[in-house]
Amino acid sequence: MELRGQSAVVCGAGGFIGGHLVKSLQSNGVKVVRAVDVKPLDGWYQQTEGVENISLDLKDRENCEQAVKGVDLVYQLAADMGGMGFIENNKALCMLSVLTNTHMLQAAQKQGVKRFFYSSSACVYNGDKQTSEDVIPLKESDAYPAMPEDGYGWEKLFSERMCRHFEEDFGLVCRVARFHNVYGPNGTWNGGREKAPAAICRKVIEAKRSGKHEISIWGDGKQTRSFMYIDDCLKGTQMIMESDIDEPINLGSSELVTINQLVDMVEDIAGIKLKRSYDLSAPKGVNGRNSDNTMIMDKLGWMPSIPLRVGMEKTYRWIEEQVASGAIDK
């Protein structure tokens, strides 16, 4: 399906990925009619001119109908979520996002929406396949038999199934991408919901500014992850939405690093070396997770390609500006 010229709503537009997505869609000829987020407008990371920016709680079905009215495309990114520190300690809040996804699907089906995009997560994958730092990259079928991240992962997996059945039963065309650790500027960088790349950048910046050259790392630092820069996420999201792929598909980098290596990288960017301490009682998630990009290469001839070092440099510089200006994270 050609997206150019279609009208769209982006839900979760006050957040990190959603705010970038509004601008990216517009630059690619999609008419973003409406941008929606539960946060008050002054708490959004980005707002875009020429778009109806509105604050709505999408757990309410009537608000969902207002959000999708008169549009061809729905990008459903709205969710109560954050980094590992948040999702491990707020399982009920994460599960309640099922209300948003249920009501958004119902509203989209009722309003005759042409195509519905759902942002799922690598947290849907079976935990037994992520017990070693030397993880085998996760392919899409590894979500079953199901044993996802407790709370957040279960809600994401359930909502994937709802998308599947709304397509089968009601003909609502759904596209589902499993995001793997998206990072970049204009996102959460402190306050408890930030993810590892932003948290490490902030900690290194604070250590450098304070002169106390120490950093606390969650876990033993040996856990492995891949991280996808926001520009790759936006490109992949739009390609998947246009495609005929009606099953969940990985959208993530395959560049695997340990958390210790990520700290090394940020220290190099900052031009500093820090003494490390390891908080073994802190949430650290699974021991290893990486994206198998075979399917996206086979079906779309593309996969994320921005090197981690390049993306981390941009992210570090942006967070450095925020800290220097005394900004408070939204």
Residues carrying an active site annotation: 152
* Residue 168, Cβ density class (10 Å: 0-12 exposed, 13-18 middle, ≥19 buried): exposed
Give which of 82, 158, 78, 76 is closest to 113, Cα–Cα: 76
* Residue 169, Cβ density class (10 Å: 0-12 exposed, 13-18 middle, ≥19 buried): exposed
